[in-house]
Amino acid sequence: MPPEGEFSMSRARLLLRAATILAVVMLALAAGYGTMEVLEEHSKAHGHYAETAAELERINDRLRQSEQRLQRLTSSLEAVELEARHQFRMIKPGETLVLVRPDDE
Q: Give which of 69, 63, 61 is closest to 87, Cα–Cα.
A: 69
Cα 83 to Cα 79: distance, rounded to the nearest angstrom: 6
Cα 79 to Cα 87: distance, rounded to the nearest angstrom: 12
For residue 28, the SS3 value is helix
Q: Provide the pLDDT for residue 75.
A: 93
**pLDDT by 10-residue block (mean), the chain, 105 residues:** 58 83 82 73 86 93 94 92 87 87 77
Instruction: Give the residue extent of every domain in the chain.
Output: 4-88
pTM: 0.47
Q: Provide the pLDDT for residue 7.
A: 54
Cα 33 to Cα 39: distance, rounded to the nearest angstrom: 10
- Helix extents (H) in 1-105: 4-75, 77-88
Q: Provide the pLDDT for residue 66.
A: 94
State how far Cα 23 lies from the chain centre: 39
